[in-house]
């Protein structure tokens, strides 16, 4: 028999399937993105992420709300029945919820052992086999009435257990528990607020939806304490929109005898090691000459960073420099992004309270319905018991004389005209309880049950009664679990200024702005060693500036806004990179595009804005200078007509202007008066016909196609002007 040849392996071409990128994203990427958003990173209306909820519910079902502590390893193992993501990830989640870690104002897990610290990067937590945990008392409010069908239950990943889709939190936990997470295309960053203040605010808001939230909820409260530098405008923005940031700084005291600054509370967003490393680096660089030594003296009593300073140094001055240069003063960025009905929503405080109230009222309605149902069932059974009071001996006789056990219930039902459930209840009564006293006491419970059912129905049918019940629960929670603020509020002080310029490295750089809004900052040394400036295929450079790293720079956008920053605040790049997308760096609005950049070291010269209606505005550049460190100025120029071009000039210059392809003119800006208002609509420079518009306005020095002879031909001495007809060679 001839030997068969083995089939040749298929070519790689057989495994390549062409499909549109949109289909790939829809089929592969979008399900992954939705899974991360819905099942991992974004907290829901109960204030928990799925990992937190699965862990706490597992501990609840293990009886750890009333029992003693057990090994963390046991909890982790049991949690894997609901959360099959590995023991390490589950234990990390558990660590953060413990009292020992100090990450939460009100921990949900009572712990024993080493769980590390929120304020330490290097203080590692012990292995799960060494630590012990149980649920903290506040979890009674997290699981309140959960066994009364107050929330939906869903099957776990292998359909063997049921778990709650949400926890029926009896207080707005989503404002009390700090939460941070990064999903795909979105993130969540929620600061914590004081429990007592949150409960008071929720009560006041339930009674009056127009309640001034600042009266009862003055500012966030973080577990690591520190001082919050209150800025009314920033805080109002956070409360209204759910987005913004506020400044936190460390608390300290000075030991004059030892010439030692003791830092005992730090911002939530940093660690003791990061602070010490930064101080050491600054001392080595010679930028903090008054510091002799820095030590981490954290012990069982809590955090302490000791900074030895020279006896001649002023402690207040040293601390101000440390606030400026180290993480001892940092911003907490807020993004109150929650899942509501499986949809991500960024909400302000009032909207959060509204959604939580809606959720909580739903839980209470379900709890009331459950209680009514159970009491109605009990009343029904007692009504059957009342029937046999008419003739107890008859009931006994029926049961005794019935030969077959299966006939007992039908005979009772027929004799007393009762339901099967009532007959079952009567048949199960113990012989010792067939005395008249017991039966009368049970029957007399009916009146009490009827009153309770009526009261429950009255509450269930009234939103106001349900809100009153929520308020009473919140008052009780505030009384039992409320605590004083840990983060002190500092009013009337501004946040530390930006780093002093003398501490910023100064070197020459070149700045590039592309048509698509990409920005490159490249040192001249790096630029000289590069062979080419890389850009995207459909992008191009529209502006270049050469300056130094300490310069101030302004970016004008197409939304009549200007953004101010320092060059040293912008990241360095390479010629071979794509650059940084400016809207991300500057925090611009959606669909806002940067169109022009200008250096602003001395605020001299003029800004020239040209509009398609033939008007040109000349604005003194000093009008963009501000005394405060404002990063954004609105109304930077007029929005009454479409902007054609924007230019900065140190003094009056010749400009080349065109009207479509038929006419052009050269004009000196000295013909235009300086406008006092930045958003002035300007003066009419070019007289336009119907259906014509100004199409170009640029300095003559940048008009490559304009010769000196042509410039003189197109020059005008008065405005407005109709310009001159363009020679054939000047037509575009």
Catalytic residues: 130
C-beta of residue 554 within 8 angstroms of C-beta of residue 600: yes
Q: Please tell me what DSSP assigns to residue 728.
A: G
| Rounded (5°) CA angle 648-649-650 | 125
Region of 245 (left: φ > 0; alpha: ψ -120 to 50; beta: rest) is: beta
For the beta sheet containing 132-135, the strands, ordered from the edge strand earlier in sequence to the opposite edge, are 70-71, 132-135, 109-112
End-to-end CA distance of the chain: 82
Closest CA to 477 of 239, 719, 144: 144
Cβ–Cβ under 8 Å, residues 558 and 582 = no
Which among 671, 679, 673, 693 has a CA at the least distance from the CA of 646?
679
DSSP bridge pairs for 697: 657
Structure tokens at 521: 């900052």
Give the DSSP letter of residue 335. Answer: E
Give dist(CA 233, CA 239) in Å, integer: 10
Give me Rg for the CA atoms of the chain.
37
H or E segment to which residue 725 belongs:
strand 724-725
Helix H or strand E encompassing 585: helix 582-586
Q: Give bridge partners of residue 620 from the DSSP assignment.
A: 606
Query: Under a CB-based contact definition with an 8 Å cutoff, are residues 291 and 318 in contact?
Result: yes
Q: CA-CA distances (angstroms) from residue 53 to 56, 97, 553, 617, 727? A: 5, 11, 48, 60, 77
Q: What is the C-alpha to C-alpha distance for residues 359 and 371, in angstroms, rounded to an integer?
A: 19
| Location of structure tokens 């750890």 | 64
- Any residues with CB less than 8 A from the CB of 242 and at least 6 apart, and which? 334, 335, 336, 337, 346, 347, 348, 349, 351, 352
What CA–CA distance (Å, rounded) separates 427 from 677? Answer: 93
3-state secondary structure of 54: helix
How many Å apart are CA 345 and CA 337, to the nearest integer? 5
Q: For residue 663, list its beta bridge partners.
A: 659, 725
Q: At what angle do helices 349-388 and 392-401 cross, to 10 degrees?
A: 80
Backbone torsion region of residue 581, taken as left when φ is above 0, otherwise alpha when ψ lies between -120 and 50, otherwise beta: beta
**Residue 166 contacts residue 143 (beta carbons within 8 Å):** no
Going 34 to 38 to 40 to 44, the CA torsion angle's sign is positive
Residue 701 phi, psi (nearest 5): -65, -20
């Amino acid at each position: 028999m001839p030997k068969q040849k083995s089939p040749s392996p298929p070519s790689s071409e057989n495994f390549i399937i062409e499909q549109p990128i949109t289909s790939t994203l829809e089929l592969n990427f979008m399900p992954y993105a939705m899974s991360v958003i819905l099942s991992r990173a974004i907290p829901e209306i109960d204030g928990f992420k799925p990992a937190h909820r699965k862990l706490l519910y597992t501990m609840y079902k293990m009886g750890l709300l009333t029992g003693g502590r057990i090994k963390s390893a046991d909890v982790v193992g049991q949690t894997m029945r609901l959360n099959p993501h590995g023991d390490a990830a589950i234990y990390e989640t558990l660590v953060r919820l413990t009292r020992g870690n100090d990450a939460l104002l009100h921990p949900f897990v009572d712990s024993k052992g080493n769980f590390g610290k929120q304020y330490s990067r290097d203080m590692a937590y012990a292995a799960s086999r060494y630590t012990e945990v149980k649920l903290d008392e506040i979890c009674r409010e997290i699981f309140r009435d959960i066994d009364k069908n107050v929330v939906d239950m869903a099957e776990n990943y292998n359909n063997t257990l049921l778990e709650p889709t949400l926890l029926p939190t009896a207080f707005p936990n989503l404002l009390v528990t700090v939460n941070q997470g990064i999903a795909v295309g979105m993130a969540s960053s929620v600061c914590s607020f004081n429990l007592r203040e949150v409960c008071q605010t929720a009560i006041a808001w339930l009674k009056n939806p127009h309640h001034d939230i600042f009266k009862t909820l003055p500012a966030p409260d973080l577990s690591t304490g520190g001082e919050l530098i209150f800025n009314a405008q920033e805080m109002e923005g956070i409360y209204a929109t759910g987005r913004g940031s506020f400044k936190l700084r460390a608390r300290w005291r000075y030991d004059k005898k030892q010439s030692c600054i003791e830092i005992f509370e730090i911002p939530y967003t940093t660690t003791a090691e990061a602070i010490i490393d930064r101080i050491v680096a600054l001392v080595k660089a010679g930028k903090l000459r008054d510091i002799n030594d820095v030590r981490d003296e954290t012990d069982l009593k809590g955090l302490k960073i000791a900074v030895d300073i020279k006896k001649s140094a002023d402690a207040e001055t040293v601390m101000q420099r440390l606030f400026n240069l180290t993480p001892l003063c940092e911003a907490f960025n807020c993004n109150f992004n929650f899942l509501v009905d499986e949809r991500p929503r960024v909400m302000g405080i009032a909207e959060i309270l509204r959604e939580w109230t809606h959720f909580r009222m739903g839980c209470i309605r379900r709890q009331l319905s459950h209680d009514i149902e159970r009491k109605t069932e009990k009343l029904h059974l007692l009504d059957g018991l009342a029937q046999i009071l008419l003739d107890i001996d008859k009931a006994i006789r029926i049961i005794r004389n019935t030969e077959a056990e299966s006939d007992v219930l039908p005979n009772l039902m027929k004799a007393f005209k009762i339901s099967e459930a009532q007959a079952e209840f009567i048949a199960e009564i113990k012989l010792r309880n067939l005395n008249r006293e017991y039966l009368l006491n049970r029957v007399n419970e009916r009146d009490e049950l009827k009153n309770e059912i009526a009261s429950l129905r009255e509450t269930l049918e009234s939103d106001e009664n349900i809100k009153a019940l929520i308020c009473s629960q919140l008052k009780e929670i505030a009384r039992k679990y409320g605590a004083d603020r840990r983060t002190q509020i500092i009013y009337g002080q501004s946040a530390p200024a930006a780093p002093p310029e003398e501490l910023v490295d100064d070197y020459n750089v070149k700045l590039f702005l592309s048509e698509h809004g990409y920005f490159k900052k490249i040192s001249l040394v790096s630029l000289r060693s590069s062979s080419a400036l890389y850009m995207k295929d459909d992008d191009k450079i529209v502006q270049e500036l050469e300056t130094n790293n300490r310069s101030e720079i302004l970016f004008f956008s197409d939304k009549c806004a200007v953004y101010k920053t320092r060059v040293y605040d912008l990241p360095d790049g390479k010629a071979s990179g794509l650059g940084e997308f400016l809207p991300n760096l500057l925090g611009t609005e959606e669909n806002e595009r940067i169109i022009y950049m200008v250096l602003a070291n001395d605020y001299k010269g003029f800004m020239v804005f040209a509009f398609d209606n033939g008007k040109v505005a000349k604005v003194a550049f000093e009008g963009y200078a501000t005394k405060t460190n404002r990063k954004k100025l609105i109304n930077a120029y007029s929005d009454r007509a479409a902007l054609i071009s924007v230019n900065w000039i140190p003094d009056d210059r010749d400009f080349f202007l065109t009207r479509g392809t038929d006419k052009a003119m050269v004009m000196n800006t000295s013909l235009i008066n300086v406008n006092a208002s930045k958003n002035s609509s300007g003066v009419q420079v070019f007289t336009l016909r119907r259906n014509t518009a100004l199409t170009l306005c640029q300095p003559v020095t940048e008009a490559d196609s304009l010769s000196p002879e042509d410039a003189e031909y197109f020059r005008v001495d008065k405005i407005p002007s109709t310009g001159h007809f363009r020679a054939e060679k000047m037509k575009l």
